[in-house]
Amino acid sequence: MAQTAVITTCPECGAKIPKAGMSICPYCVAPLKASPGKSIDREPLVQRLVTMPEKPDYAAACATAPPWSPEYQRAKNRQMQGSLLVVVGLVFVALQYLLSDAGWGFWTGLGGVLLLVGLWMALRGMLERSKLDRLELQKRPVYVIERSSVTDFDGKGTVRYFFDLQFADGTDGIYFYTGRGVSEELYANGMTGVAWTRGRELLGINRVRV
C-alpha cells in the first residue's frame, strides 16, 4: 500500500499545518490532498442542482440573508463602540469648557483620551468592514460534497469548518466557515440549498431539497 508523505507546511502559503491528515490548509484553504468527493461523478449532482430554481422553496432561500460572520460582527461592534466613545469624549470636553472658567481641565484630558481611543477603534472597525464588503456576496445553488473541520483554530476554541461545494455551473471549490457556537445548525454532506458566499467564506446555506 502506498504511503503518502505527511504534509506539515502548506505548499500554497507556507503556514504550518496544525494536524496531520488534514485535506485543506486552514489558513488559505488550499487543498493539501484530493478529497474523497473528487472521485465521485459530479454530473448527476449538477443535473439536480440546475432544477433548484423551479422548487417552491427557492425564492425564500434566495431572499433570506444569513447572519454576518463573527469577524464581520466584531468589526461592526468595534466601529459602533468607537463612535460611542467619541461622542462621550466630546461631551466631556464640551462640559469642561462650559463649566470652568479656564475652559479646560481634568475632564478635557479624560475626554481627549476617550476621543482618541474611540477614533482609533471606529477607524479600525470601519477598515475591517470595508475590506470584507469589497468581496462580492454571491448566492448559488449548491451541493455539499464534503465537510471537515479544525478545532481550536485560533487558540480560543474557535472551530473552523471547510466545505467542498459543488455549484450548478459545474464548478466546485473549498470554502471556510467559522463556527458560531453550540446552537448552530451544521450543513451535512449531501445537503442541497442556496449557498451565500463572500470570497472564500461560506456565510450560510438555506436548505432547498432537489
Q: Is 12 in the site for Zn ion (CB under 5 A)?
A: yes
CA distance 68 to 88: 28
Interacting residue with Zn ion among 17, 23, 24, 25 (CB under 5 A):
25
Long-range contacts formed by 45-50: CB under 8 A, 24+ apart = 45/143, 45/166, 46/166, 46/168, 46/170, 48/143, 48/192, 48/210, 49/141, 49/142, 49/143, 49/166, 49/167, 49/168, 49/192, 49/210, 50/141, 50/168
Q: Is 99 in the site for Zn ion (CB under 5 A)?
A: no
Nearer to Zn ion, 11 or 103 (CB): 11
Interacting residue with Zn ion among 17, 23, 27, 195 (CB under 5 A):
27
# chain residues binding Zn ion, by CB under 5 A: 8
Q: Interface with Zn ion by CB under 5 A: which range of 19-27, 44-52, 159-167, 181-189? A: 19-27
Q: Is 92 in the site for Zn ion (CB under 5 A)?
A: no
Q: Is 10 in the site for Zn ion (CB under 5 A)?
A: yes
Q: Interface with Zn ion by CB under 5 A: which range of 7-15, 83-91, 182-190, 194-202? A: 7-15
> How many Cβ atoms sit within 10 Å of the Cβ of residue 69?
19
Interacting residues toward Zn ion by CB under 5 A: 10, 12-13, 15, 25, 27-28, 30
